[in-house]
Structure 1
Amino acid sequence: MKQQEKRRITKGNFTTALFKLCREKEFTRISVKDICSCAGYHRSTFYEYYSDIYDLRDQTEDRLIASLTKIFTLSSTESLTAAFIHSFTRINEESGEILWYLLSENGDPHFAVKIKEALKPYYFKVFAIPPTDQDMEYVFDFAIMSGLSFYVSWYSKGKHFDADSAVALVRRVLVDGLATVIAEHSEKPDQVSMKFI
């Protein structure tokens, strides 16, 4: 087995062990010893790759963001909404729910911000808006963070509709507006728009 492949597998095993343990106890209560025991490696092997468990988490996040950005930017035939939902769904399936865990309330609160900063330049590029436009900076922050929140909620609730239905719902909110979508489900639709003004 080539050294590079061996390194990839070893790092993958440490990542899997970390997130297996995260299902059992809080991240801050997990030790390097716990991870090594779960992964089947000596502590010296862990320290060949990582300085501590935070470094393991950060490197995992960086790999996920690189994969996510690659899939997201290659989805040029899809709308941004479809690219967003489909790329997150694909990465989460490939990562064994690690992406969802990191974005969840038990994960890393800084991870969503890292994703936002990685994806935002693409939004500026797609819409041909100068990156110095401060108003659009806020708009894209809102769009990306709302999308992340939607994704976590959808996944946490067992994805009770498929990815294409998720895309359709987000599109309706973005295109028709939040008030319109809420009014369609409200028992008092005529009062919805007044609540937003």
Structure 2
Amino acid sequence: MKKKPTITAQTKQNLIDAFWELYCAKRIEKITIKEITTRAGYNRSTFYEYFTDVYDVLEQMENTLISKLKELPMQQLSSPGDPFPFEALVSMYSHHSKYLVVLLGDHGDPAFQGKVKASMKPMIKEILVSQGAKDGFELDYTLEYALSAMIGILSYWFNQEKGPSIENLMELITELSSEGVMRKLIG
């Protein structure tokens, strides 16, 4: 008898949630499958139906978050002078902050920021080129700089207890972008 898709999806999510609780408390090398399955209320064989190891759980979580980034309507959310969809990113970041704050933080996965940038760079680059930016090393390096700054400032903001309002943060990011980075991108 086949399992119902909703049951298997819930089982997988329960295992992910158990992993996440442990990952927030300790480094991935210290997390065992036994801890995950005990916390989730399943046995090891159930874990192996969905994942190969703890690193696979992390990778699947990260891939899910990256796919959410790729779903952002970049072209619709950017204007000719401002191709970075800050509001969409802040919204997405807010919605998934539970994960992103940790993954992009000091104790998260160092490779995750690179994955985020790699998923966004082609979309933003396409917008910039369509607006007249010259494709080349300057565009690549400037995008790398801008994306690193944007991810860094969002991570910093979400980790602050008394940070500025989202409106003030957006205003600052827009100023920084239009007065510095964006002049270089659009030329």
* SS of match in other structure, 2:145: helix
Structure 2: any 5+ residue segments left out of the alignment?
Answer: 79-83, 182-187
**Percent identity of the aligned residues?**
27
Indicate the residue corresponding to 2:177 in structure 1: 174
Aligned residue type for 1:23: C
Is the 8 Å Cα contact of residues 62 and 112 (structure 2) preserved in structure 1? yes
Which AA in structure 2 matches 1:3?
K
Matched with 1:16 is: 17
Q: Measure the CA separation in 1 of the matches of 2:164 and 2:114.
A: 27
Aligned pair in 2 of structure 1 residues 74, 139: CA closer, same or farther (>3 Å)? closer
Structure 1 residues 90, 74: CA separation in 2 closer, same or farther (over 3 Å shift)?
A: farther
Query: Residues 159 and 35 of structure 1: is their aligned pair in 2 closer, same or farther, counting only changes over 3 Å?
Result: farther
Query: 1:59 and 1:159, CA in 2 relative to 1: closer, same or farther beyond 3 A?
Result: farther
Which residue of 70, 81, 84 maps to 2:89? 84
Counterparts of 1:47-196 in structure 2, within 5 Å, are: 47-70=48-71, 72-73=72-73, 76-77=76-77, 80-92=85-97, 97-128=98-129, 133-158=136-161, 160-177=163-180
Shift in Å at residue 74 of structure 1?
A: 5.6
In the TM superposition, residue 36 of structure 1 has moved relative to its aligned partner by 0.7
Name the TM-score, length of structure 2 as normaliser: 0.82
Q: Any stretches of 5+ residues in structure 1 without a counterpart?
A: 179-197
Preserved CA contact (<8 Å) 1:75 1:83: no
Q: Is the 8 A contact 2:33 2:53 kept in 1?
A: yes
Deviations 1:88-112 (A, max 9, x none): 22232xxxx0122111111100000
For 2:107, the aligned partner's letter is N
Matches of 1:29 and 1:75, distance apart in 2? 42
Q: Relative contact order: is structure 1 or structure 2 higher (C-alpha 8 Å, sep ≥ 6)?
A: 2
Q: Give the alignment's Cα RMSD to 1 decimal.
A: 2.2
1:17 CA drift (Å): 1.0
Provide the TM-score with structure 1 as the length reference: 0.78
